[in-house]
Amino acid sequence: MGWLGLDDTDSLGGGCTTKSMEDLLQNLPDEVRVGTVRLVRLWPFASGRTRGNAALSVELQCDDEESLLSHLDGWWAEELSKFKGLISPSHHSDRPQVPSDPGMVWFTSQPDPIYYWSAVQHHVEVHDLPPATKSWGGAGIIGATAAVAWPGVDSTWEAIAWRLTSDTNAPRRVCPESLAEIDNWPGTFMSRDPRSGTSLIAPRGRSPVLCGVRAMTEGQAKEALSHLLSSPNTEPSIGQRTFKTNQASGDHLQTVTRAVVQEVAVDGQRKHARIETTHGIWISYGEGGPVNQLSRWLKKGDIIELKGLESEDGTFHMEQLRVVSWNARAQLRPLCSNCTVRMKSMGQNQGVRCPKCKQRLDDRWEDVPSEPPFIGWVEPPASARRHLARPLAWGDKK
């Protein structure tokens, strides 16, 4: 028995590592027993990341490891190595695209989980990896190894169906009424954008994936996908599988950061907020909904708590935000203690006076009570969250 990992057989121009793994598993020798297939999302800022930044792994059991590795040699040469060098710039992404560099690994025993934690929270190089029993290909072995090393304790499930025809940009047909129904089923999550009702389960472009339904349990994911596929208004699929995943685990985030705001600059057109703090520069994008709205409200001296990821340029990309304490946003002259009328200035350094009873006081201002637009932690809307983001409604990890 041992562990197989695979990554980076796709590009924005087509392909999907889930389908590559499915084809491999469907063509294994009959005596090989297949365990639960795992879909593992990794560090979102990896420079060579694929479209969904997900790697695959699975435990395989067989009595003849040498024969299995010989079979994998042939499958790699004939079916997987051809994916090397795929590249397709995207109209939906402003990040530079890099050619795909598929990799596959075989471990007789599962490596230390530390390699997963490194790859989900930081940049990892090939030389950082533990030696595999056998490996094939290039940089994809990084994600493949991390997927094998994932301990799988904090997990959710995703049931994926593949299209009959994948080499097309035609919009996917997924029954909107059935989607609305499963969105309200117990256990499913991130199926629709609650603001617009639009689907969050189907990719765009030339991918073999028709849709993927996320849920808390394997049974809930399978049942929800089956309900979608049974609708005559959903296009036919060529196959399906349910994957154990680290999605919505929050594994990519580390500790909460507390900082004092020093300056806030807002992009007037796109509404992105750049917040300089005592703990680095944090970026909140216009698509961030409540996070962005609260970011743009901040002023110098406010104390905030943040969760996010440090990018390769040293800035932090904000995912969750809370205001701990804040300075007053405005000041007014005091009220007269006799008349409850707002007092007025008598001139520079001459104090204030009630316009009604003429009571005088030293020159002074009073803070106007104010509150931020949100009290407590906020997060982006479902459509703008990372696959790894743990919803606030789920509470902290136990």
Question: What percent of the chain is modeled with pLDDT above 90?
Answer: 77
Contact 182, 159 (CB under 8 A): no
74-99 per-position pLDDT tens digit: 999 999 999 887 665 554 445 556 77
Residue ranges for the chain with pLDDT beneath 70 = 11-14, 48-52, 86-97, 166-167, 398
- Choose the final residue of a domain: 149, 176, 199: 149
The amino acid at residue 40 is: V
Instruction: Give the 3-state secondary structure of residue 9.
Output: coil
Distance separating alpha carbons of residues 274 and 117, to the nearest angstrom:
28
CATH code of the domain covering residue 265:
2.40.50.1010
Beta bridge partners, 188, equal: 215
Using only the alpha carbons of the chain, give its radius of gyration: 27
Q: What was the pLDDT predicted at 195?
A: 79
Q: For the domain that residue 36 is a member of, what is the CATH number?
A: 3.30.70.2200
| 135 DSSP assignment | E
SS3 25: helix
Question: How would DSSP label each residue in 260-275?
Answer: EEEEEEE-TTT--EEE
Residue 41 structure tokens: 């999302």
Q: Is residue 199 part of a domain?
A: yes
Q: What is the pLDDT of residue 240?
A: 97
**What pLDDT does 13 receive?**
59
Nearest to 15 by CA among 244, 164, 209: 209
CATH number of residue 241's parent domain: 3.90.600
Q: Tokens 């216009």 label which residue?
A: 286
**CB neighbour list of residue 73: distance below 8 Å, 6 or more residues apart:** 136
Residue 189 domain flag: yes
In a domain, 251, yes or no: no
| Same-domain status, 71 and 52 | yes
Same domain, 74 and 20: yes
Q: Report CA 245 to chain centroid distance, whole Å.
A: 13
Instruction: Kindly give the pairing relationship between strand 237-245 and strand 38-41.
Output: parallel
Residues 289, 380 share a domain? yes
Asked if residue 340 and residue 311 are part of one domain, the reply reads no
Residues 119, 132: one domain?
yes
376 in the same domain as 357:
no
In a domain, 39, yes or no: yes
Q: Do the Cβ atoms of 205 and 50 come closer than 8 Å?
A: no
Same domain, 88 and 139: yes
Check residue 8 and give left, alpha or beta (phi > 0: left; psi -120 to 50: alpha): left
pTM value > 0.95: no
Distance of alpha carbon 364 from the chain centroid: 49
Overall size of the chain counted in residues: 398
66 within some domain: yes
Q: Which of 210, 16, 38 is nearest to 102 (CA)?
A: 16
pLDDT at 91: 45
Nearest-angstrom CA–CA distance, 381 and 398: 24
Which residue range forms the structural domain that includes residue 87?
2-149
**Do 144 and 85 lie in a common domain?**
yes
341, part of any domain: yes
pLDDT score at 201: 95
Domain count along the chain: 4
Q: Are residues 238 and 263 in the same domain?
A: no
Cα 108 to Cα 111: distance, rounded to the nearest angstrom: 9
Kindly state whether residues 178 and 102 are assigned to the same domain: no
Residue 42 maps to a domain: yes
How does pLDDT run across 53-68, given as a tens digit for each residue? Answer: 799 999 999 999 999 9
Q: Which of 149, 184, 214 is the last residue of a domain?
A: 149
* 299 lies in the same domain as 309: yes
